[in-house]
Amino acid sequence: MIARFRHWSGKELSSLLWHTIRALALVVYTALLAEAFVRLSDPQPVMPRYVTGTAWGVRGNIPNARYWHHTPEVDVEYRVNSQGLRADREYPTNKPPGVCRVALFGDSIFFGYEVDLQDSFAGQLENRLKEHGIPAEVLNFAVSGFGTAEMLQTYESYGRHFDPDVTIFSWSQTDPSDNVRSDLYELKYGQLVRVNAEYLPSVKFQDMLMRYRLYRLINDNSQFYAFARESISIALKNRLEFARIASLTSLGRTGDGPASVNGDSDILDSWHRIAKDLSSALVLRAHDVVVADGGDFYLVEFPERVTRTQIAPTIDSLSTAALSRIKVISAIADLSDAARPDLKLFYEKGEGHLTPIGIRVMVDKTVRVLSASPQLAACAQRSRTVLKTSNVR
């Protein structure tokens, strides 16, 4: 190649150089123009996801990551500890004596997107439990984008080693489709079967990109990139979901055996049934595993915002059979009571997560429900005993 250039005249080389510089300048100009256009015409929230692969085959938070989200409503800093948990401290695997552990498994809502650490569900819950005399330590295992299947996988492979007294899974509107799309589990004739060892969408690609400082700079600051990434991500999710719908419905693999599928509405109905059955089975499996470990299991329902004063339930996408066996914490009534036209319970210009006020309502309800938890009561009792013993010494 270099030998070829040796035969070029100075004029040809300078022409090549000029064209290369011009092309590069055009690329930079286009990028700056795109960024300026988005910022001026339709400001976007910049909410990069700092996730990577884990040894247990699903996504996890990048250990020791420190990053920011900027939306038209908030600027939030996130710190992830070396264990991949959103926290400003490390947690020993063995539970210290006199401590009651609550483990949270969920998606970006539990993780605390758009709110500071102390305002997050974990932060507020820990403080409120302490106010109630429970020496609680709330461990936040949530990862943005998680469905129940990934929560279960994280609990079984990682979270249970921290010996939580109470385990809380989140439930939101995206979970049914997340559970089917991840293809980690499937229902075969009513039985929950593990079908794939891992679900790491785009993780390798993102890991590769995150090695470059320039990419991190763009990822953390560019509104145009945030818009493009979000649009592509939604398109890919829809495509993946469509492929899963096609494969599941055409194969007729449903919870109750082969299905007959006629027309689009049947396919959609069939899809909803598959998602409902699978999600219900996953929630029940999580419940059984946690209970078998000696913990107490709860499912927190995160409702959907319709308007500032209208809030819609999401729990109806689980079967009544599953709901009759698990303890659900639902704060729909509390949120509806708190809702006012001049009050934001949900953010409106980012990704629609709960505001600290909305989380406080949810946490109040959670604390009320947890006060009846036998495991937490027993733990609190043990803590008092430990405290007395140490005081006597």
Partner 1 sequence: MLFNSGSFALFFALFLPIYFICRRHVAVRNSLLIVASYVFYGWWDARFLILVAISTSVDYIAALGSADKPVRENDVLKSASFLIVVTIASLSLATRHDWWLVAPVTAGILIIGLLIALIKRVAAPSQPKCWLLLSLTTNLGILAFFKYFNFFVGSATILLTTIGLRVQAPTLSIILPVGLSFYTFQAISRTIDSYRRQFDPQYSIINYAAFHAFFPQLVAGPIERAGHLMPQFETVRPINRQQITTGTLLFTWGLYQKIVIADNLAPIANVVFNAPDRQTAGATLAAVLAFALQIYCDFAGYSNMARGLARCMGFDLMVNFNQPYFARTPSEFWQRWHISLSRWLRDYLYISLGGNRGGNARTYRNLMITMLLGGLWHGAAWTFVAWGAFHGAIQVVYRVLGINSLIERSRFLTVHGFVIQTGSWLVTMSLVCVGWILFRSHTFGDAVIVLKDLVATTGYSSEVFLTLFAYSAPLVLVEIYQRASGRLEFLTAGPFIVRYTSAVILLLALIVFSAPAGQQFIYFDF
Q: Which residues bind partner 1 (CB under 8 A)?
A: 26, 30, 33-34, 37-38, 41-42, 227-228, 231
Min separation Cβ 350 and partner 1, Å: 17
**Least distance to partner 1, CB of residue 30, Å:** 6
Nearest approach, Cβ of residue 42 and partner 1 (Å): 5
- Closer to partner 1 by Cβ: residue 2 or 40: 40
Interatomic CA distance for residues 252 and 261, integer angstroms: 8
**Separation of CA 71 from chain center:** 18
CB of 339 to partner 1, least distance (A): 21
Q: Which is nearer to partner 1, 42 or 342 (CB)?
A: 42
* β-pairing verdict for 75-79 and 100-105: unpaired
Least distance in angstroms from the C-beta of 222 to partner 1: 13
Q: Take residue 124 and report the two structure tokens written for it.
A: 């507020």
Backbone φ, ψ for residue 47 (5° rounding): -130, 75
Of 41 and 324, the one with the shorter C-beta distance to partner 1 is 41
Nearer to partner 1, 37 or 68 (CB): 37
**E strands present in 244-317:** 296-301, 304-305, 311-312
| Cβ nearer to partner 1, comparing 307 with 381 | 307
Give CA separation, 298 vs 117, 124, 160, in Å.
22, 17, 15
Q: How far is the CB of 317 from partner 1 (least distance, A)?
A: 23
**Hey, what amino acid is at 386?**
V
Handedness of CA 227, 229, 233, 239 (dihedral sign): positive
Nearer to partner 1 (CB atom), residue 230 or residue 293: 230
Q: In whole angstroms, give the CA distance from residue 83 to residue 65.
A: 11
> Nearest-CA neighbor of 192 among 122, 287, 119?
287
Cβ proximity to partner 1, 41 vs 82, nearer residue: 41
Residue 305 burial (CB < 10 Å; 0-12/13-18/19+)?
buried
Question: Which of 30, 67, 61 is closest to 216 using CA atoms?
Answer: 67
What's the min distance (Å) between Cβ of 277 and partner 1?
30
